[in-house]
Structure 1
């Protein structure tokens, strides 16, 4: 069979061939996602930090002395890692979901569908872009809460592992939400009625084991509980749940979401129809 590329006139540019992964395309998509949120840093970075500081003001400063230590940890040091992880989760989700729904509504999906990017490369680009926003917001938030909570690092590996897996997982969940939603109201419903309750009811401000049954048991089936608990463990050295269950669950969920994202990009669901 004749190679179509070899029959093109010599004066015309030949199609570019990629062996393996198109790293140039992945890098371009990743930088696009990063620059997209960095251009409006006041909204995407500063605003979440201010929200976290308001939580610290209400729950720590205003109630100073009214809340006893939890597991021997001062309340400020207990709450701060949970608030940082909440910022990571919410912003990783928001980055991917808002990017895709804006592309669908504005008709700019061809910007990443036309280039020679495979479903795997699209998954990598969007996931890394979302994770970058989540981690950046988490780092800035951690610096800003230092005056309110004396955070030390008891296990750096736990801090890095749970922050990265949580941001990647929520970024890929944001891909699903952005593809599923047809208008911003639907996307806001996912964040307000699914993401926000799961983060608030995951032991951010309290010990899950102190809840009455069956709520204490139900909370242990919330994957965000293990992410916040593992992340907090990295700072204070204590965990409510089994830290290894959290490691395994976060790894399996991240891999499962990556495979699911690959499937939806491969099928063109809500993008090519």
Structure 2
């Protein structure tokens, strides 16, 4: 073998052997993320359903008697509870996965394979979105015993439901990378995600709020997710639907760009 042939064999390739996308690696990471929460299904899927059923029961018992049409109140409340399940569980999945990997040192097993930062982002976000969507499906089935869960605008249900799952999955990725201990993750959940969720019209129409608060709530991005998702079931909304579509798309694009840049930099996951 000539020296030139030896040099060609020993030289590292300029491009990955997988081409533009490492589909096998991406699928493996996605399956890992999904299997991770399915192994503890009672905690990740059943617990949110029970919580939402309790919310529905308490609100129905407490307020339905004060409503002229209790059935309409339950139909209004149910989509908000489904969306609440998406928001909480999608964010929790990706943040806890990354945080656990950092604490246990197993995140190296994810970073060492030939996965690009784009593929890492898709794997983590896709797993989180899958958990949020599964929780939404199971919760919808459970709440259908209280109110009919039949979409009137299927495109709105799919768009806002899937967009919410991916949005919160990206927020979870950023939270998991930023946090250095689980206490910091709790700060994000308790002081950012939870307040924004409860102050976004989940349990009430913003029409009951003073005019100043109605204007303030329009700056809450989660309002557009819940309002748009509810519009898909009821055909009515508190805010302009197309504004919600635009706001949701812009926020998701910004978040995805930020996630890619943070993962590419290796901040707090490679150092």
TM-score, with length taken from structure 1 = 0.93
- Residue 99 of structure 1 corresponds to 97
CA distance in 2: counterparts of 1:58 and 1:94, whole angstroms: 25
CA distance in 2: counterparts of 1:60 and 1:158, whole angstroms: 26
Q: Bigger CA drift: 126-135 or 205-214?
A: 205-214
Deviations 1:228-269 (A, max 9, x none): 000000000001101001111111111111111100110001
Structure 1 unaligned regions, length at least 5 = 9-14
Task: Give, in angstroms, the shift of residue 7 of structure 1.
Answer: 2.3
- Residue 151 of structure 2 corresponds to 153
Q: Secondary structure at the match of 1:65?
A: helix
Q: Secondary structure at the match of 2:65?
A: coil
- 1:17/1:54 CA distance change after superposition, 3 Å: same
Aligned partner (choices 262, 265, 268) of residue 263 of structure 2: 265
Task: Give, in angstroms, the shift of residue 2 of structure 1.
Answer: 8.3
CA distance in 2: counterparts of 1:41 and 1:165, whole angstroms: 23
Task: Give, in angstroms, the shift of residue 3 of structure 1.
Answer: 8.6
Please list, as runs of the form range in 1=range in 2, the aligned pairs for 1:60-79 lying within 5 A after superposition. 60-69=60-69, 74-79=72-77
Aligned partner (choices 3, 7, 10) of residue 7 of structure 1: 10
Q: Secondary structure at the match of 2:239?
A: coil
- Residue 38 of structure 1 corresponds to 38
- Tell me whether 1:126 sits opposite 2:124 in the alignment: yes
- Tell me whether 1:167 sits opposite 2:170 in the alignment: no
- Residue 50 of structure 1 corresponds to 50
Q: Secondary structure at the match of 2:152?
A: coil
Task: Give, in angstroms, the shift of residue 272 of structure 1.
Answer: 1.2
- The root-mean-square deviation of aligned C-alpha atoms, in Å, is 1.9
- 1:2/1:104 CA distance change after superposition, 3 Å: farther
CA distance in 1: counterparts of 2:10 and 2:267, whole angstroms: 34
Task: Give, in angstroms, the shift of residue 61 of structure 1.
Answer: 3.6
Task: Give, in angstroms, the shift of residue 153 of structure 1.
Answer: 1.2
Q: Secondary structure at the match of 1:74?
A: helix
Task: Give, in angstroms, the shift of residue 16 of structure 1.
Answer: 6.5
Task: Give, in angstroms, the shift of residue 149 of structure 1.
Answer: 1.1
- 1:4/1:100 CA distance change after superposition, 3 Å: farther
- 1:88/1:247 CA distance change after superposition, 3 Å: same
- Residue 108 of structure 1 corresponds to 106
Structure 2 unaligned regions, length at least 5 = none
- 1:254/1:2 CA distance change after superposition, 3 Å: farther
CA distance in 1: counterparts of 2:215 and 2:32, whole angstroms: 42
Q: How many residues get paired?
A: 265
- Residue 20 of structure 1 corresponds to 20
Task: Give, in angstroms, the shift of residue 68 of structure 1.
Answer: 4.0
- 1:251/1:7 CA distance change after superposition, 3 Å: same
